[in-house]
């Protein structure tokens, strides 16, 4: 926990999450998994996944399409049974203590889990009743959540008329009716426009500040970087890296050297020269990027080796590596 420690404090949050507070504040691990494996027919979707998420933190599982993110989340949320491995959520075994796990967690899936033909209010009240609230309590909880998620105006409309952003917010609100202490969010901002994405991030930050544990999946490094204290990179069913955003960046190279080629022919020669080392390549702007430690001697040597005649490279910049660079380097070397 280095730069994201802000998320781990409990303190007074913006959001009232019912009973969530006390349990989340207790020490220990909110999620603990080891050796999770899952295959569908002969396709190995997860090949031994280990995870440890301290209570009260934000954790991001980062991976490309088909990496196994949804499968992992569904196993942890007791919706899918792993073929092998064990997992505990809030201290409960996902296989043996399924009901306790379910009472402790919430899951917001990749696709909205709402009734299109019911209004926002009706959806929330129904979820409230199903999670054991009385009629009055469910009504109260619904209007509370609608207020917190700025959905009051849309509350009386059927969900079928909602925009993507509204729908996602209602979906998260619906998952919170029972006051969960571990919140799973599967790709919470996929498909949202930049503005709705920003609003979603604020919602997640607000939840985090209330002291609950958040386990989110994403394909966006920027999102993991912004929201999560720790990040695990999942690729083809295996965790290929784990750490804080800063640690991951250090793991590969602190800096990136971007070169602008003088011509297309020069660009192609440079691409051939660097080949496997490239973390960035843009055929239109004729730029390419390679990792570097960033000190002058190394940069000078890189430039000289790539372009001994000093004719191929028109310009260069050095900047700190983004998580995208880390990700591309990690997944490349894993393959």
Partner 1 sequence: MSDALIMAGRSLRLSARSPEALLTALMLPVMLMVVFVYLFGGAVDIGTKYVNYVAPGVLLLCAVTGAATTAVTVCQDMAGGIIDRFRSLDVSGPAVLAGHVTASLLRNFVSTLLVIAVALGIGFRPHSSVGAFAAALGVLLLFVAAASWFAAAFGLLVRAPEAANSAMFFLMFFCYASSAFVPVRTMPTWLRGFAAHQPATPVTETIRGLLLGHSHPLPLGAALAWCLGIGLVSMGSAAVLFRRRTA
| Binding residues vs ligand ATP (CB under 6 A) | 40, 43, 45, 63, 65-71, 110, 219
d(CA 55, CA 183) in angstroms, rounded, equals: 11
Name residues whose C-beta falls within 8 Å of residue 305's C-beta, 6 or more positions apart in sequence.
273
Name residues whose C-beta falls within 8 Å of residue 134's C-beta, 6 or more positions apart in sequence.
none
Work out how close the CB of 61 gets to Mg ion at its nearest, in angstroms, rounded to a whole number.
10
- From the list 70, 175, 189, 196, which residue makes contact with Mg ion (rule: CB under 5 A)? 70
Contacts 24+ apart (CB under 8 A), 280-283: 280/256, 280/325, 280/328
Binding status of residue 131 toward Mg ion by CB under 5 A: no
Work out how close the CB of 247 gets to partner 1 at its nearest, in angstroms, rounded to a whole number.
32
Which parts of this chain interact with partner 1 (CB under 8 A)?
74, 77-81, 98-99, 102-103, 105-107, 109-115, 117-118, 122, 126-127, 129-131, 158, 174-175, 178
Provide the 8-state DSSP code for 158. B
Between 91 and 243, name the residue whose CB sits nearer to partner 1.
Answer: 91
Backbone angles phi, psi at 210, to 5 degrees: -80, -5
Q: How far is CA 23 from the centre of its chain?
A: 23
Angle at 300 (CA atoms; ends 294, 302), nearest 5 degrees: 80
Provide the 8-state DSSP code for 183. E
Kindly indicate which of the ranges 90-98, 106-114, 188-196, 327-335 contains the residues binding Mg ion, using the contact rule CB under 5 A.
Answer: 106-114
Give the torsion sign (CA, 88, 49, 46, 332): positive
Between 16 and 219, name the residue whose CB sits nearer to ligand ATP.
Answer: 219
Do 151 and 120 touch, CB atoms closer than 8 A?
yes
Q: Using CB distances below 5 to 8 A depending on partner kind, what does residue 102 bind out of partner 1, ligand ATP, Mg ion, none?
A: partner 1
Q: Of 313, 307, 305, 277, which Cα lies nearest the Cα of 292?
A: 277
Between 109 and 243, name the residue whose CB sits nearer to partner 1.
Answer: 109
H or E element, residue 31? strand 29-40
Kindly indicate which of the ranges 103-111, 136-144, 157-165, 319-327 contains the residues binding Mg ion, using the contact rule CB under 5 A.
Answer: 103-111
Work out how close the CB of 105 gets to ligand ATP at its nearest, in angstroms, rounded to a whole number.
18
Binding status of residue 119 toward Mg ion by CB under 5 A: no
Work out how close the CB of 99 gets to partner 1 at its nearest, in angstroms, rounded to a whole number.
5
Between 15 and 45, name the residue whose CB sits nearer to ligand ATP.
Answer: 45
Work out how close the CB of 162 gets to ligand ATP at its nearest, in angstroms, rounded to a whole number.
22
Work out how close the CB of 149 gets to ligand ATP at its nearest, in angstroms, rounded to a whole number.
24
């Amino acid at each position: 926990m280095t730069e994201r420690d802000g998320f781990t404090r409990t303190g007074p949050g913006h959001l009232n999450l019912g009973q969530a507070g006390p349990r989340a504040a207790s020490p220990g691990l909110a999620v603990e998994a080891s050796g999770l494996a899952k295959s569908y027919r002969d396709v190995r979707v997860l090949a031994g996944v280990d995870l440890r998420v301290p209570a009260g933190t934000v954790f991001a599982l980062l991976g490309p399409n088909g990496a196994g993110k949804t499968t992992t989340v569904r196993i942890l949320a007791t919706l899918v049974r792993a073929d092998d491995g064990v997992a505990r959520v809030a201290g409960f075994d996902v296989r043996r203590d399924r009901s306790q796990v379910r009472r402790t967690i919430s899951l917001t899936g990749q696709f909205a889990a709402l009734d299109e033909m019911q209004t926002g209010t009706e959806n929330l009240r129904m979820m409230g009743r199903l999670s054991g609230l009385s009629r009055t309590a469910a009504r109260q909880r619904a209007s509370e959540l609608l207020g917190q998620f700025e959905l009051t105006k849309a509350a009386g409309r059927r969900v079928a008329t909602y925009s993507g952003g509204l729908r996602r917010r209602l979906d998260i609100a619906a998952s919170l009716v029972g006051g969960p202490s571990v919140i799973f969010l599967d790709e919470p901002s996929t498909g949202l426009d930049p503005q709705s994405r920003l609003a979603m991030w604020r919602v997640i930050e607000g939840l985090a500040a209330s002291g609950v544990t958040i386990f989110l999946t994403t394909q966006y490094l920027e999102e993991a970087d912004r929201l999560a204290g720790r990040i695990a990179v999942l690729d083809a069913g295996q965790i290929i890296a784990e750490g804080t955003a800063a640690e991951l960046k250090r793991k590969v190279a602190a800096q990136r050297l971007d070169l602008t080629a003088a011509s297309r022919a020069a660009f192609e020669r440079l691409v051939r020269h660097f080949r496997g080392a490239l973390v960035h390549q843009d055929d239109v702007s004729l730029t390419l990027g390679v990792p570097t430690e960033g000190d002058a001697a190394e940069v000078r040597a890189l430039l000289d080796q790539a372009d001994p005649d000093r004719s191929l490279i028109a310009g260069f910049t050095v900047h700190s590596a983004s998580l995208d660079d880390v990700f591309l380097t990690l997944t490349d070397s894993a393959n």
